Amino acid sequence: MTPAEREEALARREENAAILSAKLERDRVALESEISTAAAASKAASAINRALQSDAAKKVKGLEEECAQWEAKVARLKSEAGKLAPAAEASPAESPSEKAAVAAAKAQLASDRAAFDTEKSAFDREAADARARLKGEAQSLAELRAKLGTIRSELEAGVKTREAEVKRREAAIEAERAKLQAGVDSLVRAEAQQSEERAKLEAHVASLAAKEVMFEERSRQLQERLKNFAKA
């Protein structure tokens, strides 16, 4: 692989690492948003649950107070009826007004008893409905929390896996970069050594050229001397 190809591969890996880091950041933001939404939903469900429990407690308390009043009224009517019964036995010839009062008291007592039974049945139905609704909401909340826990665990596992993959790729990129840098340093040293050898060679060539010039000069002088000697 040439240095240019290594640089290109390193650039591609760095680009992929940047894309993966951006995706991890988006996943983290989405996870935090989902957790916040789930927490808000849980708080809202808890508030609704508390409001329903408070409302049910108020209704129960009100109905208990009303039942106590009706029971007191029934006891009072029974007491009045008990007082009227001996008088009726003592005086067999009671007046029509007294008979009408006793009949009205008995009718009122029966009406109050029927109204009390009706309200009690309605309260029991409302209480049962409230308990069933609260139970269903509690179950839904528990299922939502379980789903959110599962989703959070899966997202955290995915984030950890991707972080490990990013770290592994970063380590591989760093190792490749170190290897590439070592190759570049080796090339620089080789070029420096070649430059040094080239300089030495050029100096040697220059020295040889100077010697050649000097040899030619001496050869010329020797030839002139030989010519002079021949003339002489």
Give the pLDDT confidence of 77-125 residue by residue, as tens digits: 777 767 665 554 444 455 677 677 767 777 777 787 787 778 778 877 8
132: containing domain: 3-194
The answer to whether residue 199 is domain-embedded is no
User: In the predicted model, what is the mean pLDDT of residues 17-44?
Assistant: 74
The answer to whether residue 232 is domain-embedded is no
The answer to whether residue 66 is domain-embedded is yes
Q: Are residues 180 and 3 in contact, defined by beta-carbon separation less than 8 angstroms?
A: yes
Maximum mean pLDDT: which of 27-31, 74-78, 163-167: 163-167
The answer to whether residue 214 is domain-embedded is no
Q: What percent of the chain has pLDDT over 90?
A: 0
pLDDT value of position 95: 65
The answer to whether residue 58 is domain-embedded is yes
Q: What is the pTM of this model?
A: 0.35
Q: Residue 64: is its pLDDT beyond 80?
A: no
CATH code, domain carrying 139: 1.10.287
The answer to whether residue 227 is domain-embedded is no
The answer to whether residue 156 is domain-embedded is yes
The answer to whether residue 228 is domain-embedded is no
Q: Per-residue confidence at 212, pLDDT binned at 50, 70, 90? A: confident
Buried b (16+ CB within 10 A) or exposed e, 153-184: eebeeeeeeeeeebeeeeeebeeeeeebeeee
Return the structure tokens found at 105: 């008291």
Number of compact structural domains in the chain: 1
